[in-house]
């Protein structure tokens, strides 16, 4: 196995870590710990950025990997993929806008968009891990 072959597992790991950080960040802000929330969410963004670099590197090297399952499991996989893909494309834009409002202390705008960004970002992270397992471990 070479370096590039390990990237899908690295990507799944980074998605999982980002999901944990998102949950932690939400818990922190709900308990009023604004500065800790800021640090955790910036870390989540950094982890997601590392994921994106790793993901693009992996796909530049390996190309498209096709799901081999058939029947109902294929339908489930494709449904997850078809929802995951457009939402994944939206996450960087949503995350940057949300972080920008937070970092500039525009908290009303930050809260308004974060109510959309957080669940989409979380869904993309969790389904990214699910897609990895369906593609590489089934």
**Whole-prediction pTM value?**
0.95
- Mind listing the pLDDT tens digit for each residue in 45-89? 999 999 999 999 999 998 889 999 999 999 999 999 999 999 999
CATH numeric code, 3-136: 1.20.120.80
CB 121 within 8 A of CB 22: yes
- The span from the CA of 75 to the CA of 73, in Å, is 5
- Mind listing the pLDDT tens digit for each residue in 81-133? 999 999 999 999 999 999 999 999 999 999 999 999 999 999 999 999 999 99
- The span from the CA of 38 to the CA of 52, in Å, is 21
């Amino acid at each position: 196995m070479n370096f590039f072959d390990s990237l899908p597992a690295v990507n799944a790991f980074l998605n999982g870590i980002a999901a944990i950080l998102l949950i932690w960040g939400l818990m922190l802000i709900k308990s009023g710990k604004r500065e800790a929330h800021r640090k955790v969410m910036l870390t989540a963004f950094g982890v997601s950025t590392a994921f994106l670099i790793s993901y693009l590197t992996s796909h530049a090297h390996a190309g498209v990997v096709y799901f081999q399952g058939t029947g109902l499991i294929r339908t489930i996989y494709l449904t997850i993929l078809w929802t995951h893909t457009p939402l994944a494309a939206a996450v960087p834009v949503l995350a940057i806008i949300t972080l920008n409002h937070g970092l500039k202390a525009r908290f009303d705008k930050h809260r308004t968009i974060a109510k959309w960004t957080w669940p989409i970002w979380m869904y993309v992270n969790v389904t990214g891990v699910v897609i990895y397992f369906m593609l590489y471990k089934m």
